Structure 1
Amino acid sequence: DFLGLNYYQHIYIEKCHFFSPTPFEKRIKITESMCVGYY
């Protein structure tokens, strides 16, 4: 159970600038450059 996201099927960690602008992708910022995405 990672941050309560165990209901999501796909979780990935990526640099934030690779993400689409919210709200198109759900993401949680964990550091200045790294984000956790899920869908």
Structure 2
Amino acid sequence: MTAEVDGLVAAAGQFVDKSIKIYQLCKRLRQIWRCTRGAESMA
């Protein structure tokens, strides 16, 4: 039983880690996109 729980906890941890990385990547891309759009509208 404990081995199964450990496996689930490890899988959940990896999933959360991936979700956080994807979220940070999206945030960064959105900032870059906003900056490039702002530069275009200013020109």
TMscore range, shorter length = under 0.3
Larger radius of gyration: 2
Bigger strand fraction: 1
Bigger helix fraction: 2
Specify which structure has the bigger relative contact order, considering alpha-carbon pairs within 8 angstroms and separated by 6 or more residues.
Answer: 1
